[in-house]
Amino acid sequence: MYGNISILIMGEAKRRKNLGIPPREKTEDIKLPQLDKKAIQQKVRSTLYKYPIIPFLFYGAAILILIGGLYYVFKSLNIA
């Protein structure tokens, strides 16, 4: 009984050796691209200089979401 379990638990390297198959080739490590923070900052700044209304729209949307959330909480709790 225990012999069958050891066959099921056998690792890939040992199984390939028993079958006479050569070892698996190692794959190359994937290198992630490096982020250039200064270039990203420059792009963000140029976009903000080109469209100066973006921060106002962002903060306005955040305030509207906050007010909507408060309204939903007050309505669900029947506090008003």
32-35: long-range contacts at Cβ-Cβ below 8 A with a sequence spacing of 24 or more? none
Q: What is the pTM (predicted TM-score) of this model?
A: 0.46
In a domain, 25, yes or no: no
Helix axes 54-77, 37-50, angle to 10 degrees: 90
Owning domain of residue 41 = 34-80
In a domain, 21, yes or no: no
In a domain, 75, yes or no: yes
28-60: per-residue pLDDT in tens? Answer: 778 888 889 999 999 999 999 999 999 999 999
Which residue is associated with the tokens 């069958």? 4
2-33: per-residue pLDDT in tens? Answer: 555 555 666 888 888 888 888 888 877 788 88
Please count the structural domains in the chain. 1
